[in-house]
Chains A and B, each alone.
Chain A
Amino acid sequence: MDGYALAVWIVRLAFLALLYVFLAAVTRILLRDLRGAAVGRASSLGRLVVVASDVAEPTAGQAFALGAVAPIGRDVNNAIVVDDSFASAEHAVLTFRGRTWYVEDLASTNGTFVNGLRVAGLAAIGFGDEVQVGRVRFRLERPPA
């Protein structure tokens, strides 16, 4: 039994083994994502309630549970979609850092407003503050207990 045949044999089984290495790596990612999703569900960080809306989506009274990062904009890939021609596709993003919420205007054309004031770049906001994107007004609220 020569070395070459042994090498071929090893490579052959290595191919099979690598398929399982791949599956193991993927499984690790899947499990991590599952845990992440569970954590995300368990503790909501806040709620964004629609106070007033002149557009079809979102409608007044609607509420969004917020994760750590909640992009707002007209693009459907946003966590909160504002179907308004006055909103930019990627308009603003709400982020939770430490104990504070921030809103960041993503260089939108028509601006993001916190309690009526236009935001330049990043601004910290608290529960009860109102955020306006396009023709939709939101209020940041405490997560339900």
Chain B
Amino acid sequence: MNATDGLRPVSGNVLRVGRVLTVAFAVLAVGAGYWQVIRAPEFDRAPDNPAVIAAGRSVARGIIRDRDGTVLVTNARDVNGDPYRKYADRSLSTVLGYVSRQYGTAGLERAYSAELTGAVSTDPLGGLFGGSGASTVRPDDLSLALSLPLQRAAVKALGASRGAVVMLDPATGEILALASTPTFDASAIANPATAAGAWGQVSTDPATPLLDRATLGQYVPGSVFKIVTSIAALATGAIGPATSYPQQPGAERDGLLVSGYRVRDGHHPFTGSGTAAPLRFDEAIEVSCNIYFALTGLAVGGERLAESAASLGFGAPLPFDLPTAGSQVTNGGGSFGGGFSDDVELANAAYGQAQTLVTPLQMALVAGAVANGGVLMKPHLVTGISGPDGTRTVAPEAWRRVISNEGAQTIAAAMERAVEGRWGRLFTPGAAVPGIPTAGKSGTAELEGTLQPHSWFIGFAPVDHPRVAIAVLVEGSGSGGQRASPIAGSLLRLFFATVGR
């Protein structure tokens, strides 16, 4: 009806804009469907979901047991009759975490909040018939792979030091001990009567007891990282068991010149005369030769080292029941390959310095992969969830193969020399278990400035048929042989005397 002014009428444009807006609303509808249907089951059991928290308020949470059936946590009731948690042992504080009405949840209590409170209700029409919205709550119980005696012993062995111990079954990925020191009194935080005081003290403690060092602590690895470099080198064929470097003996004395920077090695004067024969792979592991692994790192190359480390779990948080920090071989961003900035960084990283950072759990997995013939198992703490509807077992799950069986055997044999060998014994005193061939590698993580180095040990036993792998870290306590190796030895001995008998 409009005047014929030579222009197209606007109505066509209006309808086109309308179609665009309709599409936009269709996107909203798809988004709503995504969150409300597809992601809902996952969100409905998120520990910080207020529904899960609210359900946990009035519900006596499920029981948690260790691998022998020992009850690790029970419920008590406060003056109002509301339940709160009582934990069996302080050594469990970072594993089980706590439940507090004021301060939230942590640890397994947090990760499995939905199961422990029974708040998992995925049926949107379920519970409707209750009328009030309060449905019947049926908490689940958890069974852990953890061994309370081992856990206790690990915390005791660490003593007053800050550190962490991870023990696992290399064939299944089951975590047998996951200790972090200092510990804290989770029961005091859970008890509403003592929560405020306990929380105030724990949360401001400079020793950060709330930090689970085993899963979230990132440490310079030092020589234990040489196992990662070994896996990369043997898996990619960069070196073989007989590889040696003619320039290595001389470099022990003068240092290894890499792009004008001298990589030095001060640990083993007995091979550093400059006239001795070049070291082979197993000898280099036994005496923990930095020069050998710097050269190996350069032979592997940054890209392949980073890739191999990534296959071991580096570069991202590990799949685990608890939150984990990622481990790294470099800060990344460099142009040299694999994120390294140059060959100097690569050479230093290859023996665990430069920008390498690892968690104790990651290093336990490295030891476990070697022990398990090159197959990395997914680590897990919870082995079973049992509720009124029965028990759901968490089966062992292979993550990926990181090296061939022969390659793993080569490294295992070298690690055995590092514990049992003539020179190796000097680096890893106290790690050997009488009557059981033990493999291992110590590490001394040099820190910048005048800080005392971190003491590391990773290993497994028995060498021919490994049943336990271990990683021990003691912060700022000197060389690997001084603290970590004896702790590992005592825990391995306890393992074979109790759990693995």
* Bound CA span A8–B4, Å: 60
When the two chains form their complex, are residues B1 and A64 in contact, meaning their CB atoms are under 8 A apart? yes
B190 to chain A, nearest CB (A): 36
Q: Which of B161-193 contact A (CB under 8 A)?
A: none
Chain A residues in 8 Å Cβ range of B130? 5
The listed residue with most A CB atoms (<10 A of its CB), out of B1, B3, B128, B129, is: B1
* Bound CA span A76–B131, Å: 56
A35 to chain B, nearest CB (A): 16
* Bound CA span A58–B1, Å: 12
A4 near B: Cβ within 8 Å?
yes
Nearest to B132 among chain A residues (CB) is A5
When the two chains form their complex, are residues A65 and B128 in contact, meaning their CB atoms are under 8 A apart? no
Nearest to B131 among chain A residues (CB) is A5
When the two chains form their complex, are residues A9 and B128 in contact, meaning their CB atoms are under 8 A apart? yes
Nearest to A2 among chain B residues (CB) is B131
Q: A12 contacts which of B1, B3, B4, B128 (Cβ < 8 Å)?
A: B128
Q: Given the known A-B contacts A1-B129, A6-B129, A8-B131, are A79 and B1 also in contact in the complex, defined by CB atoms under 8 Å?
A: yes
Report B125-166 CB contacts with A as 1/0, cut-off 8 Å: 000111100000000000000000000000000000000000
* Bound CA span A65–B9, Å: 14
Nearest to A79 among chain B residues (CB) is B1
Nearest to A65 among chain B residues (CB) is B1
The listed residue with most B CB atoms (<10 A of its CB), out of A4, A9, A79, is: A9
A67 to chain B, nearest CB (A): 8
Report A56-95 CB contacts with B as 1/0, cut-off 8 Å: 0011001111000000000000011000000000000000
Chain B residues in 8 Å Cβ range of A8? 131
Nearest to A58 among chain B residues (CB) is B3
Q: A5 contacts which of B1, B3, B4, B129 (Cβ < 8 Å)?
A: B129
Chain B residues in 8 Å Cβ range of A6? 129
Chain A residues in 8 Å Cβ range of B129? 1, 5-6, 9
Q: Which of B1-29 contact A (CB under 8 A)?
A: 1, 3-4
Chain B residues in 8 Å Cβ range of A12? 128
When the two chains form their complex, are residues B131 and A4 in contact, meaning their CB atoms are under 8 A apart? yes
* Bound CA span A80–B2, Å: 9
Q: B4 contacts which of A1, A63, A80 (Cβ < 8 Å)?
A: A63
Chain A residues in 8 Å Cβ range of B3? 58-59, 62
Chain A residues in 8 Å Cβ range of B128? 9, 12
Report A4-20 CB contacts with B as 1/0, cut-off 8 Å: 11101100100000000
Chain A residues in 8 Å Cβ range of B1? 64-65, 79-80
* Bound CA span A113–B130, Å: 75
Nearest to B130 among chain A residues (CB) is A5
Chain A residues in 8 Å Cβ range of B131? 4-5, 8-9
B129 to chain A, nearest CB (A): 5
B309 to chain A, nearest CB (A): 53
* Bound CA span A4–B129, Å: 10
Report B438-468 CB contacts with A as 1/0, cut-off 8 Å: 0000000000000000000000000000000
B435 to chain A, nearest CB (A): 66
Nearest to A44 among chain B residues (CB) is B1
A27 to chain B, nearest CB (A): 13
The listed residue with most A CB atoms (<10 A of its CB), out of B4, B130, B131, is: B131
Q: Which of B110-135 contact A (CB under 8 A)?
A: 128-131
Chain B residues in 8 Å Cβ range of A62? 3-4
* Bound CA span A65–B1, Å: 5
Chain B residues in 8 Å Cβ range of A58? 3
B413 to chain A, nearest CB (A): 68
* Bound CA span A8–B129, Å: 9
* Bound CA span A27–B360, Å: 63
Chain B residues in 8 Å Cβ range of A79? 1
A43 to chain B, nearest CB (A): 15
Chain B residues in 8 Å Cβ range of A80? 1
B37 to chain A, nearest CB (A): 15
Report A27-70 CB contacts with B as 1/0, cut-off 8 Å: 00000000000000000000000000000001100111100000
B25 to chain A, nearest CB (A): 13
B202 to chain A, nearest CB (A): 45
* Bound CA span A6–B128, Å: 9
* Bound CA span A4–B3, Å: 64
A94 to chain B, nearest CB (A): 12
Chain B residues in 8 Å Cβ range of A63? 4
* Bound CA span A1–B136, Å: 13
A134 to chain B, nearest CB (A): 18
The listed residue with most B CB atoms (<10 A of its CB), out of A8, A65, A80, is: A8
* Bound CA span A6–B129, Å: 7
* Bound CA span A63–B252, Å: 102
* Bound CA span A132–B376, Å: 95
Nearest to A8 among chain B residues (CB) is B131
List 17 additional A-B contacts (Cβ < 8 Å) besides A6-B129, A62-B4, A79-B1: A1-B129, A4-B131, A5-B129, A5-B130, A5-B131, A8-B131, A9-B128, A9-B129, A9-B131, A12-B128, A58-B3, A59-B3, A62-B3, A63-B4, A64-B1, A65-B1, A80-B1
- Taking Cβ atoms with an 8 Å cutoff, the residues of B that contact A are 1, 3-4, 128-131
Q: Can you pick out 8 interface pairs between chain A and chain B where the beta carbons lie within 8 Å of each other?
A: A1-B129, A4-B131, A5-B130, A8-B131, A9-B128, A12-B128, A59-B3, A63-B4
The 7 closest A-B pairs by CB, nearest first: A5-B131, A1-B129, A64-B1, A5-B129, A9-B128, A62-B3, A8-B131
